[in-house]
Amino acid sequence: MAKINLNRRLNIFGDETGEFGFAKGSAKLYGVSLVFHEQSASIASELNTLNTRLSHLNFNSMIHMGDLVSGHEDFEGLEISERRKIYTQLYRFSTAIPAKYHSFFIDKKAFDANTTLEKCLENFLRELILSNLEYFQNFDEIKMYYDGGQKQLSKIIDKVFGELSGYERESNFDHTEKKLFQVADMLTYIDKLLYKYDNGIKFSNTEIGFFDYKTINRIKRELKGHRL
């Protein structure tokens, strides 16, 4: 009889927004978003629906929210109505799949050095794990998909999640294929707007041109059940 693999695997997709340090002109807000998906929970049907709908919109590239909202790179020349349709499909996918989301943001004006910023990030991640320790300990394998875009964040992620059994990080993967990574990228953008909204920080003209406050409130309600 063939041996059945009963290992439980948790896939985590991570992305960040903002520059890590304090160089002149760098973003004031720094954020990290994580998508948690249990390997055993199939999302094949939802993926097929998403890919079909994106194909109907003649789009099959990476959905990068910053470029999508601003109309840059792959989205240059597309009307805002077309760009909203692309966003809507990814957002609907994110609310339909059995996945959990977590984001945290740091206002860098409260810090004056990379070392203190690093410690704050580490503390945020440790608190996430300690608050959900039983959940994480349910898995035999924990696979982190983070491309290493920022070395400091990579180091902190590996340090904190590396204390969990079965952890490994994959940095070389296809961003276009991994739609859950695109969801993480999307969360860095929309959760930043939620942070701004909750903390009375003014939206940029680009942000308010793509999203209105009614939409932000709806997103907050709809994603509440997906939060880890």
Cβ-proximal residues to 1 (8 Å cutoff; 6+ apart), any chain: none
- Distance (Å, rounded) from C-alpha 221 to C-alpha 225? 8
So what's the pLDDT on residue 173? 96
- Position 3 in a domain: no
Give the predicted TM-score (pTM) of the model: 0.94
3-class DSSP assignment, residue 144: strand
Give pLDDT tens digits for 194-206.
999 999 999 999 9
226 pLDDT higher than 60: yes
**Is beta strand 29-38 parallel, antiparallel or unpaired with respect to 9-17?**
antiparallel
Can you give the residue range of the structural domain that contains 151? 9-226
So what's the pLDDT on residue 20? 87
- Position 55 in a domain: yes
Give pLDDT tens digits for 119-134.
999 999 999 999 999 9
Cβ-proximal residues to 214 (8 Å cutoff; 6+ apart), any chain: none
Q: Mean pLDDT throughout 66-81?
A: 96
Crossing angle for the helix pair 179-198 and 80-96, to the nearest 10 degrees: 100
The 141-145 sheet, strands edge to edge: 100-107, 29-38, 9-17, 141-145, 167-170
- Position 184 in a domain: yes
- Position 78 in a domain: yes
So what's the pLDDT on residue 22? 85
Domain count of the chain?
1
31 pLDDT higher than 80: yes
- Position 1 in a domain: no
- Position 153 in a domain: yes
- Position 198 in a domain: yes
Question: How large a percentage of the chain has pLDDT more than 90?
Answer: 89
pLDDT interval class at 6 (50, 70, 90): low
Phi-psi region of 156 (alpha: psi -120 to 50; beta: other; left: phi over 0): alpha
Q: Mean pLDDT throughout 198-224?
A: 95
Q: What is the mean pLDDT of the chain?
A: 94
pLDDT interval class at 17 (50, 70, 90): very high
Looking at residue 85, which CATH number applies to its domain? 3.30.420
- Position 101 in a domain: yes
